[in-house]
Amino acid sequence: MAERIGVLVIGERPDTRSALAGFLMSGPALRVVGQAASCADALPLIRRLRPGIIVYEAHTADPAELRAIWPVAREAPYASVIVVSFFAGPEHLREAMAAGAREYLARPFRAEQLVATVQNVHTRERERRRYQIARGLPVLAERRPRVITVFSTKGGVGKTTLAVNLAVAFAQETRNLVPVVDLDLHFGGVSMVLGVHAKRPLSEPAGKPGEATFEWVEKCLVRHPLNVAVLALRGCPGPGPPAVLRVLDLLACGFDVTVVDTHSAFDATARAALDTSDLIVLVTTPDVPTVHNVGEGLAALTADPRRPSEKVRLVINRAGPRAELTPRVIEEYLGLTASGVISDAPVLVNRSVNRGVPFVASHRFSRVAREVRELAVELLREPTAPSLGGPPWRPSAL
């Protein structure tokens, strides 16, 4: 599947923005995901649309104007800023680079030159990331998301499969134990996908939020040799939302990253986890009923300020040439840029699920494993969304 590059255009004048957008759209792999008149206007769009490239038009000869780029470069370390200007000169260039730009293109230029520049910058950044992944070097943002919940309003889209394989990829990346909380209270499948026997521990103390301690939660974790550990809530007599929040808060304090697998219902338990999560991985498959269903789910999800769309990361699972919908159509329908597109790999994935061996470990170099590992790095690299309203409940002390 050809990789598409989402580009955001920042420029004061609407006619310049349209001209740049027109140039960019002439590149078959490029997609203009949004436009903004200033860097300040661009920030909320960047959080929501997560462009890989930002094209900034410097419209004055004053190099100080370029300092406005810094908040954008700081907000989106995963995006590369390219400055274009008629006023190119050593001072302008120096200021652009100091403010975090990756490339500078003097106007006038032809559409092909802009497209080629965007593609070069993107290829270099991707190579850098892959190089670091391949060598186990850290590619992480300083402010990492700590609790990542995998969610969908549709069943059978691959939530559990992704949650487990993402957790293994996070463990590989962070070299630390990654807990996976199985919040699917009816059909919890994390233990099966990991091939472990989970205990049924979380009845009493977790039912009384004040009583759960980190040591106790740690004891309930069922460890797996791949440096992940399952915390199964299945079968527990009603671990209510306060208990879920308590457990997630304790895990967030003790571990780099915690993954939460949910079921498809948008009930109080799932909402508690979603409210307190730093990131919500919203999973869809590329077919009309699922995308429609997930669209409704997204609206319900983001209706609450504790779950702003900035927290949501779209993942399209089971994509491929035979899929009913392309990633582009899904992104446009849902108004979100996909953080990951995971290929349909029925033979490999089903074998992995049936044997209880995550494919990210057993078939490390398969396409689907690579895609999940790239998604894991992408999720870890991101700064966490600003908390709008905060979780409804926090443990008083650890």
Ligand X SMILES: Nc1ncnc2c1ncn2[C@@H]1O[C@H](COP(=O)(O)OP(=O)(O)O)[C@@H](O)[C@H]1O
Say which DSSP state 259 is in: E
Does residue number 5 form part of the binding site for ligand X (CB under 6 A)? Answer: no
Q: Among 188-196, 206-214, 229-237, 289-297, which window interacts with Mg ion (CB under 5 A)?
A: 188-196
User: Between 7 and 183, whose beta carbon lies closer to ligand X?
Assistant: 183
Strand partners, 103: 82
User: Closest approach of Cβ 380 to ligand X, in Å?
Assistant: 20
Residue 155 interacting with ligand X (CB under 6 A): yes
With binding defined as CB under 6 A, does residue 317 bind ligand X? yes
φ and ψ of 312, to 5 deg: -90, 130
Binding mask 323-352 for ligand X (x = CB under 6 A): -------------------x-xxx--xx--
Structure tokens at 193: 């996908």
Q: How far is the CB of 342 from ligand X (least distance, A)?
A: 5
Which of Mg ion, ligand X, none binds 349 (CB below 5-8 Å, type-dependent)?
Answer: ligand X
Binding flag, residue 230, ligand X (CB under 6 A): no
Residues 6+ apart with CB under 8 A from 353: 161, 192, 193
CA proximity to 214, closest of 178, 250, 182 = 250
Q: Is 290 in the site for ligand X (CB under 6 A)?
A: no
Stretch that binds ligand X, among 94-102, 153-161, 244-252, 379-387 (CB under 6 A): 153-161
Q: Are strands 178-182 and 258-261 parallel, antiparallel or unpaired?
A: parallel
Q: What is the DSSP string of 65-93?
A: GGGGHHHHHHH-TTSEEEEEES---HHHH
Q: Could you count the other beta carbons within 10 Å of the beta carbon of residue 367? A: 13
Backbone angles phi, psi at 318, to 5 degrees: 70, 35
Residue type (1 letter), 388: L
- Residue of 80, 149, 153, 160 interacting with Mg ion (CB under 5 A): 160
> Is 165 near Mg ion (CB under 5 A)?
no
- Name which of Mg ion, ligand X, none residue 48 binds, using a CB cut-off of 5 to 8 Å depending on partner kind: none
- Residues in contact with ligand X by CB under 6 A are 152, 155-161, 189, 317-318, 342, 344-346, 349-350, 353, 368
